[in-house]
Structure 1
């Protein structure tokens, strides 16, 4: 790599910022629970690009939309009692003349990013993770719009549930409850102080149970228990949920599963009042008439938005069909007759197009779409990028430095499909006499 113009940290060489752990920090983890290390860095004269990590075999890294890198690792039973070093360095790049492109909803054209001119590494930091036995027994149940967290009372002896609270302790609807065995709470994904975080693959809704002295206080001197938990929903595919329970410094996660669900329906017109009754399928249209469709995420979470990445038509109810016709690709309208209609909330997508038939002996058309859930109002999400033209390179040009990079693994896409649309044959739409119709059929 070329020499850095300056060796002062924070200019070209990335400078670490909180909450990055200090070099040599001792962290604690628990068996079968995820430990999370958050890394943030800045460089005023370069663009933070990547993080290079070393550690145990099943370690992962992600970058979220807030600009933090998150390193995650889950120890197994064989790791109990051992110590594991995890090391990391952040990389920044500068570009030759020109600037990298940003995407906007309203534009289909983009400039090509300029080649890299320099790659600059931060200092390397290493932390030491000690794997311990599980200290707090807990689990979580998640749905499309809520998290239920349960912590066994016997695992935090000496602490009374009256001294535990969620992030939002002032709201009476967010109080913790208890029975003889558990302290528990039912928390909406969009309330009780729940925070949302997004990376390339997942949405996470985070909250925690902490100790307090008086409910109105913003500080505590009884920092004996901190139970952080989150529900994790892959943006493309099934939803995953996770939970953490830990003493100070320990950061571990317990997992459970759930999902967002999507409904794909036909409507008779652009008013979208009542959907077409599913018992009337296949829906019959004349070629060239307009068909109205709506995709809706059934989750009631109000700080998320639905993004429809692609929609394709096929003569068969099979998303891997060889014979497909693109309607929407990479967020861009491909079919010239597509119209987007105003939704009633951000988790709806309404569109229409003129009907067509596949050439040959195919009367029916199935439509399948790839959908994502994104964090609302954030600038770095797939929703905010909008339409990305197929002429835009997805990544910057490779050079000798990029060959050693890990390939980012994207979670499975979530398909929704609906159909079939059946098209009236020409004889069916002919309004001539019954005799004429019968003669046509005999001739055919």
Structure 2
């Protein structure tokens, strides 16, 4: 009987083991690097010291790749400089750097490519230690939406459920819920029902909860299996993520959140804004008073930069002044200044020390503003992500002195067109580099498109790229017209902005093919669009009603004036003709009577 029970248990044990492996394809995967072409795959990676391994994901699928590092264990106390995972947006490590994972990453990294290829490099230091990583990827179409998947929740309380709940959630699910309640409150999140795939490290399906408005940092926890977890935020914002792989779906979850007032002193009415030109920090006087600070004793790195004090304490200063420091980390440029409490001249003090670290991090796509507060309610770190202000215009000559204001811009076929990208910033130590420019007859840059510049190299024989000049990127090309009689041409350029003090930045390298591009690529990337461009012969064509209508509007006053004078002249001539006819008829009558014989009455 005992043997029979053991025999019956064998299929159950095998099924559990299979569920734990989650149908992961590990067979034949090289231990250090591989070229991957499947639509989805999971990798369990184990590396030792001095590894330098590259995995390339590429497939002609015309889709986006999502890469999830659901578990990573580096050597203890390793630094990001010596041991990390670097992810590149393209087919090689010469492609633009998409993100980095290392020992101090306080998140579950999820990265997405902008095309159908992606590369990641794992580097380890010389410490003898077995590193373990679990990563899975899959291709997906961004336009495909899952119902009831993520969103914004802004009420004082609310509920959220996984897609299809209580039915099994879909495969390849990635949902993000952003919860925001009233100021001076915190969020309590309670999962009433929770059933995800069970795994010791939650590598397959998991829910991650973050103490803040993004998924970049502040991980409160990652859970899976059967549980009823609860989470509490330190402020009025929280982020919840659901990520699933391609096997073993379960019921999912149902959760409820509530908000409650924050204890202690009033939360500071404090914010930081960043622009291309300046940094602005606003501190409420009521909060400073609640923690025992005098607003007149606050100062920046450069004490000569004084705040403007009204109902609030306002520090507003250019990015490159008041002791602001600048750091280029290869992915973004960060400007940092520190507000501290100046000494009052006494030998000792019983006042608490205050230090506000304000950072403007210039990145590609973000409007994030975050305030960090320590346990004793003193502001510790204020961070905002800003955007450089970039514009692009056509100019009438290679002197680039007079911009073209008309729109559409009517040109002759093969006419030389001069384009300039301008960075509006007070930081003089920045370079602008035109990396890629494409032309399209559609304003949304759908098919067809035509490459003018690619990776800093001219792809059209008429393109001339001028050397970088301070905050300007310039080039020229000859006007052309798309086949199939498209009337307009639009231009979109990818712009890179680098620190001019970095001699190895992408902005200083000029034309380099993607295969040979240096790892130290761009710092900040954006794009600019200009157009439409149209041919002058189209302006003369009756078929282009928009241009003719505009011309008609401009000529209306003159036409009306001309019509008035013409009508007056016609009336005058008509009157003259009528008068002349009357006079002529009168004279004819007189002449007739003179020659007529008078008949005799007898």
Q: Structure 2-normalised TM-score? A: 0.44
Question: Could you give the per-residue CA deviations for residues 6-52 of structure 1, whole angstroms, max 9, x where no partner exists?
Answer: xxxxxx99xxxxxxxxxxxxxxxxxxxxxxxx985777xx9997753
SS in 1 for 2:301: coil
SS in 2 for 1:162: helix
Match of 2:438 in 1: 312
Alignment pair present for 1:203 and 2:333:
yes
Paired with 1:39 and 1:193, the residues of 2 have a C-alpha distance of: 31
Alignment pair present for 1:283 and 2:409:
yes
Question: Could you give the per-residue CA deviations for residues 140-189 of structure 1, whole angstroms, max 9, x where no partner exists?
Answer: 233331121122233343222333210111x3xx112323x432211211
Q: Is the 8 A contact 1:190 1:303 kept in 2?
A: no
Alignment pair present for 1:73 and 2:218:
yes
Alignment pair present for 1:414 and 2:565:
no
Alignment pair present for 1:160 and 2:160:
no
Match of 2:102 in 1: 52
Report the alpha carbon displacement of residue 354 of structure 1 after superposing the two structures with TM.
Answer: 1.6
Report the alpha carbon displacement of residue 199 of structure 1 after superposing the two structures with TM.
Answer: 3.5
Q: Is the 8 A contact 1:239 1:260 kept in 2?
A: no
Match of 2:495 in 1: 371
Report the alpha carbon displacement of residue 226 of structure 1 after superposing the two structures with TM.
Answer: 0.5
SS in 2 for 1:205: strand
Paired with 2:388 and 2:335, the residues of 1 have a C-alpha distance of: 13
Alignment pair present for 1:226 and 2:355:
yes
Match runs of 1:325-340 below 5 Å? 325-340=450-465
Match runs of 1:131-170 below 5 Å? 137=268, 138-156=270-288, 157-169=291-303
- Aligned CA distance change for structure 1 residues 259 and 335 (closer, same or farther; 3 Å): same
Report the alpha carbon displacement of residue 312 of structure 1 after superposing the two structures with TM.
Answer: 0.5
Paired with 2:326 and 2:110, the residues of 1 have a C-alpha distance of: 20
- Aligned CA distance change for structure 1 residues 155 and 341 (closer, same or farther; 3 Å): same
Paired with 2:108 and 2:508, the residues of 1 have a C-alpha distance of: 32
Match of 1:303 in 2: 429
Aligned residue pairs: how many? 314
Paired with 1:72 and 1:426, the residues of 2 have a C-alpha distance of: 54
Task: Name stretches of at least 5 consecutive residues in structure 1 with no aligned partner.
Answer: 6-11, 14-37, 62-70, 82-131, 396-409, 430-444
Report the alpha carbon displacement of residue 212 of structure 1 after superposing the two structures with TM.
Answer: 2.5
Q: Is the 8 A contact 2:273 2:281 kept in 1?
A: yes
- Aligned CA distance change for structure 1 residues 309 and 208 (closer, same or farther; 3 Å): same
Report the alpha carbon displacement of residue 139 of structure 1 after superposing the two structures with TM.
Answer: 1.4
- Aligned CA distance change for structure 1 residues 423 and 136 (closer, same or farther; 3 Å): same
Alignment pair present for 1:357 and 2:481:
yes
Q: Is the 8 A contact 1:232 1:242 kept in 2?
A: no
Report the alpha carbon displacement of residue 416 of structure 1 after superposing the two structures with TM.
Answer: 1.4
Task: Name stretches of at least 5 consecutive residues in structure 2 with no aligned partner.
Answer: 1-45, 53-76, 87-99, 112-215, 222-229, 235-262, 542-602
Report the alpha carbon displacement of residue 385 of structure 1 after superposing the two structures with TM.
Answer: 4.5
- Aligned CA distance change for structure 1 residues 226 and 328 (closer, same or farther; 3 Å): same
Q: Is the 8 A contact 2:335 2:361 kept in 1?
A: yes
- Aligned CA distance change for structure 1 residues 418 and 80 (closer, same or farther; 3 Å): closer
Paired with 1:359 and 1:309, the residues of 2 have a C-alpha distance of: 26
Report the alpha carbon displacement of residue 392 of structure 1 after superposing the two structures with TM.
Answer: 3.2
Q: Is the 8 A contact 1:80 1:133 kept in 2?
A: no
Paired with 1:80 and 1:248, the residues of 2 have a C-alpha distance of: 16
SS in 2 for 1:266: strand
Paired with 1:373 and 1:188, the residues of 2 have a C-alpha distance of: 18
Q: Is the 8 A contact 1:227 1:246 kept in 2?
A: no
Match runs of 1:96-175 below 5 Å? 137=268, 138-156=270-288, 157-169=291-303, 171=304, 174-175=305-306
Q: Is the 8 A contact 2:101 2:109 kept in 1?
A: no
SS in 2 for 1:184: strand
Q: Is the 8 A contact 2:410 2:536 kept in 1?
A: yes
Greater C-alpha radius of gyration: 2
- Aligned CA distance change for structure 1 residues 415 and 155 (closer, same or farther; 3 Å): same
Report the alpha carbon displacement of residue 256 of structure 1 after superposing the two structures with TM.
Answer: 5.3
Paired with 2:306 and 2:500, the residues of 1 have a C-alpha distance of: 27
Paired with 1:39 and 1:208, the residues of 2 have a C-alpha distance of: 28
Match of 1:213 in 2: 343
Query: What's the C-alpha RMSD, in Å, of the aligned pairs?
Result: 4.6
